[in-house]
Structure formats: structure tokens, C-alpha cells
Structure 1
Amino acid sequence: MRPPVSPMLRPRDADALRAELRRIATVTGLPVAFGGEVFDRTLVLTEFVGARTSGLHGLAVRPNSGLGGATVVAARPMSVSDYRRDVTITHDYDGPVLGEGILSVLAVPVVVDGDTRAVLYGAQRSPSPIADQTADFLVNSARRLSTELRIRDEVDRRLRLREAAVANATSGVAGVEQVREVHAELRRLAADSADGARLRELADRLAQALATDGPAADASLSARELDVLTQVAMGCTNAEAAQRLSLKTETVKSYLRSAATKLGTRNRHESVSRARLLRLIP
């Protein structure tokens, strides 16, 4: 089941879907690439590259109906090499599919935690199987999108925790520590996400959420220096911070030294204290 999201903060999943379809069309040379998100097990086709008609736009594909509906339910790639004559699928959508001239189709599900969240299609206007190399690229595209959606879901979960933490922050240290944990996790997720810059922006806003004494002071710490300092502030060793941020331990040490120089501090503990004073981290 799709988790609740923060509509004001979460980027549109359809934008990530569209980006993958454009990449598929560019790299594979497929004449048509299209897809859509799944809502309550119904696939809604919204994104198209190379389409000549509008017949498929907005089409709602029911579970087990057509190639896409079967893919949603099976949660695995499915294909037909001659759509018009294929007897393994229902033909509920022959009008718009054949109107687009599509004959050979591969449908690949984007699966997150066991649920089909979207479907990517690659199609040809000739009755010949999709090449193995092309099929592999579509499968990898679906995996990339699955990872991105999983990260976004986790960010939404963390932001909901943040909302609860900020609401209770004035009640004591426990609330402050919750905010700090969410802030650290946001910066860690930023290291692995295509929306890293946006996640860091949210983390910076969170760092100021507890303050009531005016705007934060200017500082010239880089995003990576703040990432490392945030993990250290949560008690991580250099090795632990390196693992969480997918960095080498020596790289973490280098960022800490650079941050200390900019902050005018002598060690990691002073750096954390100074960064908190400047409201760079909560």
C-alpha cells in the first residue's frame, strides 16, 4: 500500500518516471516509451515519449487487463511480440494501442516493498521481440526508479517524525534529540538520492526549526562538510560516518579538518558545538 506523503515537500513521482522514460528512449532507440503510476492497483498512463496519438493518454488499466494490468498483478516483466495476434492477454485496450501502431511491447513493473508502484513500457511498431539488451536496460531503469521511490518514502516517514518532533521540541531534550536524529538521517539519505540538493535544503530548514532568535549566521561549510559534521554530532565515529555516507574514512577526516578550519575550532566536539551555535545543525 502506498504510504502517506508530504505533498508540499515530496517531488512529483511522475517527474522521476518521465526522466527514466526519456533515458530509455535515448539510450535504446525504442520508438515509443511510456508508463504511469499505479493507484489502488489501477495503472494510469500519463507519461509518453515518441507517441503519435493521444489515445493512450490518461488510460486507466485495470488489474489483469491487457499487458499492463497483468504486469501490475504479477509484479514481473511481461512482453508480447505481436500484440494484435497475442492470445495470452486480454484485448480490452486494442483501440488506443493499435491506433498508436504498437505491435511489440515490453512492460516492466516498478516494485517497492512488494507493491507495483508504476509500470515502464518499451514498444515497437513492428512485430518483432524486444532485444535482450534493450529489455535489460528497461529492467535496470525500473530498479533505479524503485530505489528512488523507496528513498522518497523513507524521507516522507522521517519528515512525519520531524513534524511530531518539532511540535514537541519545547517539551524537553527528548524532542530536540528526535529532531537531530531526523536531521542526520535526511543528510544521510541525500548522499544516495537524485534529489540530494533538495533533501539537504530540507535538512537546513530543519536545523533552524528549534531556533527563535533570528536568522542563522552565515558560514561557508560545504554540503559534504555538513553531512559529516551531522553524523559526528549524533555520536558516530569516523568509520561509522564514512559507512553511512558511502565515503572513505580518510575522506571523512579530511572534511572534519576542513570544517574545523572554517569554524575556527580545535577538535570535532568544538566543531559540533560551534555549528549548533551558528544553527547549521540542530
Structure 2
Amino acid sequence: MAGHTGVRGAGRDAEWAADAAEIRAALLRLRRATGLPVAFGGPLVGAGATRVRIGELSGTATAALDGLAVSAGNGLGGKAITLTRPCTVTDYRVARSISHEYDTPVAAEGLRSVLAVPVVVRRRVRAVLYGALRAPQPLGDRTLRAAVEAARDVEQTLVVRDEARALAAAGGEAARAGSWQEVRDTGAHLRGLADRLTDPALRAELLGVCARLAAADAGPPRGAQAPPLTPREVEVLVIVAEGATNAAVASRLGLRPETVKAYLRAAMRKLGARTRGEAVAVARRAGVVA
């Protein structure tokens, strides 16, 4: 295997880093759901994204797999990339259904029964998740289903994130062009995507984008413009809009009530509102709060 030799620009680098974070969480869920002692994986990298770089390890005993890259068509993971479907072997050492370029690191980690599941987004493999036993025994349908489900979870998150990025970019272009109705439509779509997310960090990020678009939606500049709301300020306003007290907001977000008040005061100041109710009303008109 060859190491990762580079990326195609900062945008692609950021995409791979975000993919890796999703993979890390999926591997932990996979081990909890199945009891597999080892799980690992990584995003596809390189020109044309045809190699999976293994950088996320869970339950491994050595560093043999860390940083290794599996090319499309080679080994179990490479086969999964090429076929875009899950692949398994009961005993990696003697399996005839795969090539054996990577026997040394696999043997160093003591792996025998292995599965590889591709993460496919819009017909493009974005990552591969692996699960393994240190004994040559069948993994079973339940384990395979759990691995496929973990991959699907990653796929859904990546689809939403990709769509949000594309919409944010489109909203920025619309704002620069003065297409304010398009900005409003983009903000509303992003707000809908945010409501579908369970990841609080990603949800806050999308709400922050909504806030920036709402600031742009104020129309062409007429002197100084209020700074956009931060993701946390938007999140506080969203919960306040549901009728929650500051104490309830603090409980849901894991903050102190005084901190919630500070976020709310900052949001009110930026929105030019004198009360929390007025702040919610302004945010609703701007499309930041449903």
C-alpha cells in the first residue's frame, strides 16, 4: 500500500476531514451494535478519489493499518470500491475471491474474518467501512446488516451536508447578484435541512449559514449592516421561538441560564429588537426561525 500523497486543494481537504469525522462515529456505532472487536476505515483520496486511506481505527492493537491506502480493485476494500457493494471473507489469509497485496498489515493486526462496505453518495464511493474478527468464522447476516446500516447513516449525512454547501454557495451568489427572493428560498431550504439533522454541531453550522443569508436578505446595503447571528445565537432563538424559558433553553443546550441570556441579548442587539418576542419576530421574517 502507498501512503496518502496529496489532495486537490483546500476544499477537497476539508471535505475529506469532514468525511473522516462521520466515519469515526459510524465505526463506533458499528462496534456497539455488533460486538465486533475491530472496525476501521477512511475516505477516498487521491486523483480521481480511487484509493481509500485508512485513518480511522477502533479496537486495533497495532498501527499496522493506520495511514495505509487501498486502491480500487485491490484487496477486500478495493473490491468493494469497484463493485460498489459490501464484500466479505471468512478467512482473509486464504481467501481466493480477493487479491492479496495487503496481507502483511492485515496479518500484523491479526485479522481473519473481514467485511468491507462502501459509502456511496450519488453513485460515487466516498469511503469504506471495515469490520473484522481475529478468528476465521462467518460474520453472519446480522453483522453485515449493521455494517450496511452504518454506511447508510454516513451516506445520508454526507448527502445533507453536500446539499447544504451547494445551497449556501448558491445563496451567496444570489446575494451578490441582488436576487433576494432566491436568497430567501435558499435560506428556507437550508432551514428545512437543519431540521432533519440530529447532529447538533452540523445543525448549528447550517443555522449559522441561514443567519448569514438572512442578513444578506435585508437587501442592498444602505450604510452599516448588522453583523450576522452566530450559530449559537440562532439556536437559542429557535428554542425561544418554541416558547421555552431561558432555563429550559439552557437545559436543552447544556448551558448556564446566564449564558443563554447573553446570547439572547447579543441576538436582540444585532436584530435591532428590544424584546425577545420582537427578536423572534424579526428572525422569522428573515427566515432564520420557522
| TM band (smaller chain) | 0.7 to 0.9
Give the counterpart letter for 2:127 in structure 1.
Answer: A
1:47 aligns to what? 56
In structure 2, the gaps of 5 or more residues are 1-7, 219-223, 243-275
User: How far does residue 31 in structure 1 lie from its aligned partner after superposition?
Assistant: 0.7
- CA contact 1:33–1:48 (8 Å) conserved in 2: yes
User: How far does residue 223 in structure 1 lie from its aligned partner after superposition?
Assistant: 4.8
Give the counterpart letter for 2:205 in structure 1.
Answer: R
Q: Where does 1:116-195 land on structure 2 (aligned, <5 Å)?
A: 116-169=125-178, 175-193=179-197, 194=199, 195=202
- Matched residue of 2:72: which SS? coil
Cα 1:224/1:96, change in 2 over 3 Å: farther
- Matched residue of 2:97: which SS? coil
In structure 1, the gaps of 5 or more residues are 170-174, 227-260, 266-270
2:203 aligns to what? 196
1:108 aligns to what? 117
- Structure 1 segments (4+ residues) deviating >6 Å: 6-11, 216-220, 276-279
State yes or no: 1:207 paired with 2:223: no
Distance 1:49 1:120 in 2: 11
- CA contact 2:43–2:53 (8 Å) conserved in 1: yes
Distance 1:198 1:222 in 2: 14
**TM-score normalised per structure 2:** 0.72
**TM-score normalised per structure 1:** 0.74
- CA contact 2:64–2:105 (8 Å) conserved in 1: yes
State yes or no: 1:69 paired with 2:75: no
Cα 1:9/1:23, change in 2 over 3 Å: closer
2:21 aligns to what? 15
Cα 1:10/1:199, change in 2 over 3 Å: farther
- CA contact 1:21–1:49 (8 Å) conserved in 2: yes
- CA contact 1:216–1:280 (8 Å) conserved in 2: no
Q: 2:238 aligns with which of 222, 240, 260?
A: 222
CA RMSD of aligned residues (A): 3.1
- Matched residue of 2:173: which SS? helix
- CA contact 1:200–1:223 (8 Å) conserved in 2: no
State yes or no: 1:38 paired with 2:50: no
Distance 2:74 2:15 in 1: 34
User: How far does residue 7 in structure 1 lie from its aligned partner after superposition?
Assistant: 7.2
Give the counterpart letter for 1:209 in structure 2.
Answer: A
Q: Percent identity?
A: 38
Distance 1:69 1:33 in 2: 16
1:262 aligns to what? 277
Cα 1:83/1:279, change in 2 over 3 Å: closer
